[in-house]
Structure 1
Amino acid sequence: MVYLRTIKLLRENFPNTKEYPFHLPSLRKLEAIELESSVTFFVGENGSGKSTLLESIAYQCGFHTAGGSRNNFYEVHRSEASLGDYIRLSWLPKITNGFFLRAESFYQFASHIDQMGSESYKNYGGRSLHEQSHGESFFALFANRFNGRGIYLLDEPEAALSPKRQIAFLYVMRDLVEEGAQFIIATHSPILLGYPGATILNFDESPVQEVNYRDTEHYQLTRRFLEKPETFLNEK
């Protein structure tokens, strides 16, 4: 299901085009992104703007920009969305259920859940996220907190997942999509990018462009390495 249909940049309101994030090449010529798939991936090098835009979508959704939903309130340094006031979202239909996962501040989110008390653990596998491994805590979130008919914004979810767990997460995504979920995911994982039928948007292009899975640098570089790992480092 696609709820969020369009992400429009209000470029005419940018205060300037020389400072972050307004100077990013991926955003400089971008007018809007049309979403047509239940699963959309943002890909690109570090600093290309994919996480910045994802965080701004979370801001416009009313989700905590350090991670969480509309019902999570806690203080985290630098959790503001620098692009948040310069995009407009178009929905059909509008929904409010969902979650923003930000891998780099997940520890603070887990501490926030602890502060809410043990009653809150029922949404995260029945125990503190801090009492689980990093990968287990991510999966507890996916399996217990996520449900159908919601929008899920994930910033590098593979950070805590082994390759086996990443494949398991693809099954979780499939089940949630069948129940009516929409995903927008910023990732470097060639495994996650292989989700069938997903749209992949390349933030290394200016403006952002759709790219085929097998044409992504993630796929091609990983394939080259796996085909000849013993000689890969000798290549120029």
Structure 2
Amino acid sequence: MTINKKPYLQSAALRPDTVADLERYPFTIPAIRDFVQMDFHRDVTFFVGENGSGKSTMLEALAVGLGFGKDGGTRSVRITGVSDQVSGLHEHLRLGKSYKKPNDSYFLRAESFFNVASYMDEMPEYLGSYGGKSLHAQSHGEAFMATMLNKLRGQGLYLLDEPEAALSPSRQLAALSVIHQLVQDDSQLIIATHSPILLAYPHAKIYMFTGGGIHEVAYEDTEHYAVTRDFLNNYPRRLEQLFEEE
């Protein structure tokens, strides 16, 4: 009998032996305050929700709990000279892991990717693993794609926080292809996103972060899909209504 080594990260649950201060961040976020447990898909799990809903906070907590620095990169990247403040949520989580560790891992975080790019410029001996060219010598989108294409080597666990932030729609389609190639190469990805393109990845598990908690939803039931579809199908009328309201 073959034992599946994926998902490398199987679950995250609130530890019963810690006491959360519900009056302090991040437990002032409703979805975080009400969190109990989530199970991850063996291939791709998405976090979706409005800005401030807690999806990036949860992803950061998973990353820090797994040994990554808050700014992202590999586990060996530790960036000084910037704020070391994290939410502290990782201290309240118990992570369920596979018996098998991934061969590769990376935390890609859009909001602090500039810091990682600067760190790589200070360590030019490692630039080869990013394609051999300074990330700062490329556009933001090119640097993101260079990282995904070169640094994520497969058989890995990858946490991506809003990777679409620097990507055009066509590049998001290219990123979707990279995600599929990584899945085919025995990788697991956990992705916080606003992109209806990335969310379309087949058979993925989607967790919606709302004021009422964290719930699993189907792709077609996400606001991202519904709003985008409605706008594209009815954009003259939607623009008219929007401008009338203003």
TM-score, scaled to structure 2: 0.91
What one-letter code is carried by the residue in structure 1 that aligns with 2:116? F
RMSD: 1.5
State the distance in 2 between where 1:68 and 1:37 align.
22
What one-letter code is carried by the residue in structure 1 that aligns with 2:227? L
- Cα–Cα, structure 1 residues 211 and 150, in superposed 2: closer, same or farther, change >3 Å? same
What one-letter code is carried by the residue in structure 1 that aligns with 2:40? L
Match of 2:115 in 1: 108
CA contact (8 A) 1:27 1:206 kept: no
User: Shift of residue 122 of structure 1?
Assistant: 0.6
Residue ranges of structure 1 left out of the alignment (5+ in a row): none
Structure 2 counterpart of 1:30, from 24, 31, 35? 35
CA contact (8 A) 2:68 2:74 kept: yes
What is the percent sequence identity of the aligned residues? 47
1:136 matches 2:122: no
Match of 2:105 in 1: 98
Match of 1:219 in 2: 225
Match of 1:82 in 2: 88
State the distance in 1 between where 2:18 and 2:126 align.
40
User: Shift of residue 94 of structure 1?
Assistant: 4.3
State the distance in 1 between where 2:19 and 2:174 align.
41
Alignment of 1:147-162 (within 5 A): 147-162=153-168
State the distance in 2 between where 1:109 and 1:79 align.
16
How big is each residue's C-alpha offset from its partner over 1:83-131, in whole Å with a ceiling of 9 and x where there is no partner?
Answer: 12111111113426311111011111000001112x2111111110001
Alignment of 1:138-217 (within 5 A): 138-204=144-210, 206-217=212-223
Deviant stretches of 4+, over 4 Å = none
State the distance in 1 between where 2:70 and 2:179 align.
22
CA contact (8 A) 2:8 2:42 kept: no
User: Shift of residue 12 of structure 1?
Assistant: 5.5
1:62 matches 2:67: yes
State the distance in 2 between where 1:40 and 1:93 align.
20
Match of 2:3 in 1: none
Match of 1:49 in 2: 54
- Cα–Cα, structure 1 residues 24 and 94, in superposed 2: closer, same or farther, change >3 Å? farther
What one-letter code is carried by the residue in structure 1 that aligns with 2:169? P
Partner SS, residue 24 of structure 2:
coil
State the distance in 2 between where 1:110 and 1:14 align.
37
User: Shift of residue 78 of structure 1?
Assistant: 4.4
- Cα–Cα, structure 1 residues 187 and 220, in superposed 2: closer, same or farther, change >3 Å? same
User: Shift of residue 220 of structure 1?
Assistant: 0.3
State the distance in 2 between where 1:120 and 1:95 align.
23
- Cα–Cα, structure 1 residues 221 and 29, in superposed 2: closer, same or farther, change >3 Å? same
Number of residue-to-residue matches in the alignment: 235
CA contact (8 A) 1:158 1:187 kept: yes
Q: Does 88-97 or 101-110 show the bigger shift?
A: 88-97
